[in-house]
Structure 1
Amino acid sequence: MLSLHSNFSVIGKTSQLMRIGKHQSPVVAFSSSSRLHQQSLRYAVLGAGFAGLSVAWHLLEHSPIELHISIDVLDEVGIGGGASGVSGGLLHPYSPKVKPLWRAAECWEESLKLLRIAETAIQTKESSFNNGEIAHSSYEFIARRRGILRPAVSLKNMSIMNENAQNSLASCRIQSINEDAAQILMPNICVPSNLAFHMQGAINIHPQPYLEALYVACEALARDMSSVGPGEKDINFHKKSIDNLLQLEGEYDAVIVCLGARSTFLPELSGRLPLRTCRGVTAHFHLPENIGEEIPEHSPSILSDAWLAIQNPRNLHVGSTWDWKSCNYSQKVSMEEASRALEELLPKASAVYPSLRKWVFHGASAGLRAMPPLTGNGSLPLLGRIDDFITQNHSSKFWLFSGLGSRGLLYHAWLGKLMAQAVISCDEGVIPQEFTSWRPKL
């Protein structure tokens, strides 16, 4: 077992050496500014999902070693309490519905890096969060590396996946296989056109333990950076509701709103963000003990009109529904809502995996996605300064990172890094214009 303390000491020292070496990061602009004389900075990160915890990690990693940095992560529900915590967790750098994703390579590599950091952190219990225990300790791992299988169910889908295959990344190749080969990977799968696409390097992440482990990693990084540099680093989680952004005015040097769909409920942002809300329900199934046809340990998850995220040989999740314009961001699902979700999901899922009919439904979870507008580069999240949305006489700087939509796992690490660098350097130019062009021109 790796030592968390020693591992993060290396990470902390390496990141500091990079900042003072010849490969300068954007934080140098901050170091040369007049604010260098302010030896202590406080940041508020609103939201403890994919976006919020990625930003928190990178604020620590990229902060100047000489400054005292204090980060408060605020979320009224808890870590992973929103849509991030109940997502399907299928991580791959491709789109099965539109043209190849823009900047997919950067997103993929950064997500893999952040996943490795979280996996290292979960190997110990060195955390003050939740009395030192991971809340969902029943999970033995946070990532299942068995790939993802995509049966071709239409000519359009076949064309798009073929294009993805031709441009696939070296670390996540796409292999075209026939039904016999698909059956070896996933017994009893149905491949209507005798063609499926195997994304061998794709990963099925368990979102809730991943997010909890990422917060543990933030704590460890703060401790280790404090031990090797003159500036103390500190991070704290607060289960707290934020009713409006002005209540934080003057309390923090920067406030980063990473609330996903809940951002649209803040009075300062209501009706001003080009986001659509969409509630998605995920159904949970298990295989009864009297049935022996469990899924082989090597089998990949399945991506189709409904996805099947394999948890273990006798448990899987199926999703997801699309309830547009919903305002319900609770993870809880009523019996009526669950029944409607099953009526929609079961036919789609059993069309590619008929054996699902033998499985038993044992619950559901839901989340409210923040869906961004469609651009020439696809549906891109919203990033940037929002001071003009809050107040003209601001003593704090306000930033937004929202609209991860259904691609949160792929985008969160890279964009969290860019957002943190922009906040630290006070330079929005760090962020590609494609992510900031959503704001109205002043």
Structure 2
Amino acid sequence: MSPISTSSLLAFCLLLLGLNVKNIFLQHSPKDLHLCIDIYDEFGIGGGASGVSGGLLHPYSPKVKPLWRAVECWHESLRLLSIAEAAAASKEFDLGSQEIAQIFNGFIVRRRGILRPAVSLKNMNTLNDNAQNCLASCRIESIDRDTAQNLVPNLSLPFNSAFYMPGAVNVHPQRYLEALYLACEILLEDKSNSGFEGKELHFHKKCVNNLLELAEEYDAVIICLGARSAFLPELSGRLPLRTCRGIIAHLQLPDNIREEYPEHGPSILSDAWLAVQGPRDIHIGSTWEWRSRNYSRNVPTEEASKALEELLPKASATYASIRNWKFSGATAGLRAMPPLTSHGSLPLLGCVDDFVGENHACKFWLFTGLGSRGLLYHGWLGKLTARAVLSRNEDVIPPELTSWRSTIK
């Protein structure tokens, strides 16, 4: 590819998905290219919806069919998870930093698999059919009641069948994003020590109110703003996104109850999902409030109570013991849900110079609409976006992800 022959390049990443974009920039940019990357996020690392997601990662649709480009996305996600874990471990070991230890006090990736109970005869038949097309790297096993209850005692299986994905994982999104940022800093330091001078990385905890204020300062701007992309004046009313606020309830097992969730038990996908954080700590979710514009992760007491009333009956229908657990808090995020296409609900990518104004040439790039599948899509699509920006060539991006512009009048 023909790289950008300019003095600086911006990865504008407001939801930290761009951390992967930045990582690719640092890995693949030419040695003699002076590269200055500034990241703007007014809420800090993982401060938006990405940092509070359920973190259940697998490459399948709700019907357990592989998603669009599932193989590429799945493999890249696993690669980045390993990079994040290695960065957290190496930094803590090398520096003995108490601050680093506190940030990563807990898992980044919980590798216990995900279990999906069959909730109806139709659902069971559909899952059985589609499980035959599973990926070799994330297989799906049809298991009976006894096998499922060996994994999770007291699990309710109305049709005596469940589908187990042993290779699926549960990610702690906040720790993952912080570790991925740390990995980028380590990569930058390593490249500097290897003679790759002129590579800079800066994080700015501040808000950008419009894109034009960045036009003169940077050679490229990547908009990774999630649902808030539609709030920018240049993009307002022009993106085919639906916003949806989701609330996740946090539950803990009271001290006087000894029956813990099994240490090696999988997380659960059903009408409500259970993302296991530990034997005495579970998150359940999620609610769906369409057309919301509230992107605060804080959940008032009344809103949290209503969310729990909605989620707990769904969760207990699968795992009845959850009713013995105690509510300990709630968090929320605003999803950016893309339109449904023949390939499924796909993110919105591509150059948006025409939206911003004249006299731009592949300067402004959009990376949004990942919906509830950001953990799966962000790695591989971040790599493609970085290559497109460096080469000023949108053809690097699959046309399915840029076709949304043809619907804009």
TM-score by length of 1: 0.88
- Note the 1:126-205 alignment, pairs <5 A: 133-134=99-100, 137=103, 139-205=105-171
Structure 1 position 42 matched with structure 2 position 15: no
Query: Equivalents in 2 of 1:286, 1:392: separation in Å?
Result: 54
Q: Pick closer, same or farther for the CA change 1:179–1:323 going to 2, 3 Å.
A: same
SS at match of 2:295: coil
CA drift at 1:152: 0.7
User: Who is 1:283 aligned against?
Assistant: 249
Asked whether the equivalents of residues 350 and 356 of structure 1 are also in contact (C-alpha less than 8 Å), the reply is yes
Structure 1 position 223 matched with structure 2 position 196: no
Query: Equivalents in 1 of 2:10, 2:364: separation in Å?
Result: 10
1:392-429, Cα deviation, whole Å (9 max, x unpaired): 12377000000010111111101011011101111100
Bigger drift between 358-367 and 115-124 goes to 115-124
SS at match of 2:283: strand
CA drift at 1:233: 1.5
User: Who is 2:266 aligned against?
Assistant: 300
CA drift at 1:99: 4.4
Q: Which residue of 261, 267, 276 maps to 1:310?
A: 276
Structure 1 position 258 matched with structure 2 position 231: no
CA drift at 1:54: 1.6
Query: Equivalents in 1 of 2:231, 2:242: separation in Å?
Result: 12
Q: Which residue of 94, 97, 101 maps to 2:67?
A: 101
* Residue identity in the other structure for 2:175: P
Asked whether the equivalents of residues 245 and 390 of structure 1 are also in contact (C-alpha less than 8 Å), the reply is yes
User: Who is 1:432 aligned against?
Assistant: 398
User: Who is 1:76 aligned against?
Assistant: 42
Q: Pick closer, same or farther for the CA change 1:395–1:168 going to 2, 3 Å.
A: closer
SS at match of 1:357: helix
User: Who is 1:380 aligned against?
Assistant: 346
Which residues of structure 1 form unaligned runs of 5+? 1-27
User: Who is 1:389 aligned against?
Assistant: 355
- Note the 1:332-411 alignment, pairs <5 A: 332-394=298-360, 397-411=363-377
Q: Pick closer, same or farther for the CA change 1:126–1:145 going to 2, 3 Å.
A: closer
Query: Equivalents in 1 of 2:274, 2:240: separation in Å?
Result: 30
SS at match of 1:70: strand
CA drift at 1:231: 3.9
Query: Equivalents in 1 of 2:101, 2:385: separation in Å?
Result: 28
Q: Pick closer, same or farther for the CA change 1:135–1:319 going to 2, 3 Å.
A: farther
Query: Equivalents in 2 of 1:290, 1:145: separation in Å?
Result: 28
CA drift at 1:132: 8.4
Query: Equivalents in 2 of 1:429, 1:163: separation in Å?
Result: 36
TM-score by length of 2: 0.95
Which residues of structure 2 form unaligned runs of 5+? none
Query: Equivalents in 1 of 2:339, 2:43: separation in Å?
Result: 27
- Note the 1:52-91 alignment, pairs <5 A: 52-91=18-57
1:103-128, Cα deviation, whole Å (9 max, x unpaired): 1011100000010000000013379x
Asked whether the equivalents of residues 284 and 318 of structure 1 are also in contact (C-alpha less than 8 Å), the reply is yes
Bigger drift between 421-430 and 151-160 goes to 151-160
CA drift at 1:230: 4.2
* Residue identity in the other structure for 2:349: L
Aligned pair count?
405
* Residue identity in the other structure for 1:141: F
Structure 1 position 327 matched with structure 2 position 293: yes
Q: Pick closer, same or farther for the CA change 1:364–1:135 going to 2, 3 Å.
A: farther
User: Who is 1:29 aligned against?
Assistant: 2
Query: How much identity, in percent, do the aligned residues show?
Result: 66
Q: Which residue of 79, 82, 86 maps to 1:116?
A: 82
1:84-103, Cα deviation, whole Å (9 max, x unpaired): 00000001011124743111
Q: Pick closer, same or farther for the CA change 1:98–1:198 going to 2, 3 Å.
A: closer
SS at match of 2:191: helix
Asked whether the equivalents of residues 138 and 166 of structure 2 are also in contact (C-alpha less than 8 Å), the reply is yes
CA drift at 1:138: 6.0
Query: Equivalents in 2 of 1:379, 1:353: separation in Å?
Result: 30
Query: Equivalents in 2 of 1:434, 1:356: separation in Å?
Result: 41
Tell me how large the CA RMSD over aligned residues is: 1.8
SS at match of 2:203: strand
